[in-house]
Amino acid sequence: MKLIEPRPVPLGGLRAMTVRRLLPSRDRRMVGAWCFIDHYGPDDVAVTGGMRVAPHPHTGLQTASWIFTGTIEHRDSLGTVADVRPGELNLMTAGYGINHSEYSTPDTTVLHGIQLWIALPHQDMNTAPAFENFVPEALTFDGQGSGQDASAPAPVQACVFLGSLGVAVDGQIRTGSSPVTTFSPLLGAEILVGAPGSVPGVDKNPADDAPRRTITLTLNPEYEHGFVVDTGALLIRGQQVAADEMLFIEPGTTELTIEAIGDTRLILLGGAPFGEEIAIWWNFIGRSHEGIVEARAAWNAQAESFEAVTAPAGASGTEIVTGGLLAAGQDASPGYPRFGGVVLLPGEYEEQPRTSVIPAPELPNARLKLRGD
């Protein structure tokens, strides 16, 4: 086992929203194919400005967005317009190339969630881009309810948004699974104990005398696992995991009993050891320095030539800049814009101008290194 602590990373801007990055880290690069974990909030949007990420590209990966509080609007070069809401998974496959924007909606006052990347295996790196939305069934376990004895155990809820997971609480057994497309064996789930909140500025660690709840998980012994604590704390094999920390566990575990301390929110990630070396730079994943250089050049060439097409006030649908769209399942061909067109927002977001894209920064002077697990 290895305890991983986050490092703060500002996303940029005058009122920079700061995230807590758990992967990649010095102590661990990946958990299965999970290669990037940004944990954020709860943030007061009036203070931080919320999430305001202009169109930017991705290659060689999938992004998984899971939010606890607030709403983020996602637009991409497939023409997708979708809100990221609590309890829903938005999974975007970049493959050969895609671009998208992410902005918290005007009615969002508190923003709290987690952003995840999944590395695509080498044979799938150039797959066509795609987008999926999935609302997993909530697996519920009896506990304290309105009007019941306050000493009754806290309720437990699990949502499995990738792969499958068995959960047992006080003899009650539930299994959840997800049909969402993945390119390697994966697990992703949220487990709630009690009523963890999303109040900016409030200590997310439990009181010393907080009640405890025992949960038993049925795990795939071939998987690595990462236990990310958002709120509360966990006790796993004698190791306490505090809010914002992640505990990494090597393959070999079939059944694991964990103890939640106080109101707890846990994100459980798992997957078979990836077994490949990858290069991660900016928003790209590649298998060589040259591949990253090529992706950067392709994006910046497109970014310089984009001309925004704005829809009339009140119009519905998307506004696409010059360049067109790559439909899901359509093969990219020579001469086609690798990252598709840029999708902008209509007039109701005029206070958040989106007439520009984010160019790729300068590469480091040294060659990018391939790194494994």
Nearest to 20 by CA among 43, 2, 39, 5: 39
Rounded-to-integer distance, Cα 148 and Cα 159, Å: 25
Rounded-to-integer distance, Cα 231 and Cα 229, Å: 6
Sign of CA dihedral 327, 72, 188, 165: negative
> Poorest-confidence range of 63-72, 215-224, 227-236, 310-319?
310-319
Neighbours of 266 (CB within 10 A): 23
Whether residue 100 is annotated as binding a ligand: the answer is yes
Say yes or no to pLDDT of 360 above 80: yes
Say yes or no to pLDDT of 350 above 50: no
> Poorest-confidence range of 48-62, 80-94, 113-127, 261-275?
48-62
Going from the N-terminus, what domains does the chain have, and what CATH number goes with each?
Answer: 138-271 (2.60.120)
Name the burial class of residue 8, with classes exposed (0-12), middle (13-18) and buried (19+) by CB atoms within 10 angstroms of its CB: exposed
Distance of CA 64 to the CA centre of its chain: 4
User: What pLDDT shows up at residue 348?
Assistant: 42
Say yes or no to pLDDT of 13 above 80: no
Q: How confident is the model at residue 345 (pLDDT cuts 50, 70, 90)?
A: low
pLDDT in tens, 43-98: 999 998 888 888 899 999 999 999 999 999 998 888 888 999 999 999 999 999 99
pLDDT in tens, 235-257: 999 999 999 999 999 999 999 99
Whether residue 74 is annotated as binding a ligand: the answer is no
pLDDT in tens, 167-205: 999 999 999 999 999 999 999 999 999 999 898 988 999
User: What pLDDT shows up at residue 81?
Assistant: 87
Q: How confident is the model at residue 314 (pLDDT cuts 50, 70, 90)?
A: very low
Rounded-to-integer distance, Cα 210 and Cα 260, Å: 10
Q: Give the pair of three-digit tokens for residue 228.
A: 């990310």
Q: Give the pair of three-digit tokens for residue 70.
A: 């607030």
Distance of CA 373 to the CA centre of its chain: 19
The residue with greater pLDDT, 102 or 70, is 70
The residue with greater pLDDT, 227 or 14, is 227
Average pLDDT over residues 32-44: 97
Mean pLDDT, all residues of the chain: 87
373 Cβ contact list (under 8 Å, min separation 6): 28, 29, 30, 224, 273, 274, 275
User: What pLDDT shows up at residue 296?
Assistant: 96
User: What pLDDT shows up at residue 333?
Assistant: 43
89-115 in b/e form (b: 16+ CB < 10 A) is bbbbbbbbbbbbbbbbbeebebbbbbb
Q: Do residues 371 and 278 touch, judged by C-beta distance below 8 A?
A: yes
User: What pLDDT shows up at residue 11?
Assistant: 76
Whether residue 39 is annotated as binding a ligand: the answer is no
Rounded-to-integer distance, Cα 233 and Cα 231, Å: 7
154 Cβ contact list (under 8 Å, min separation 6): 143, 144, 193, 194, 195, 211, 213, 263
pLDDT in tens, 131-155: 999 999 999 998 754 334 556 789 9
User: What pLDDT shows up at residue 127?
Assistant: 94
User: What pLDDT shows up at residue 124?
Assistant: 97
Say yes or no to pLDDT of 283 above 50: yes
Cα 114 to Cα 17, 66, 269, distances in angstroms: 13, 6, 12
Say yes or no to pLDDT of 355 above 90: no
Nearest to 215 by CA among 267, 263, 160, 171: 171
pTM for this structure? 0.90
Q: Do residues 72 and 349 touch, judged by C-beta distance below 8 A?
A: no
- % of the chain surpassing 90 pLDDT: 71
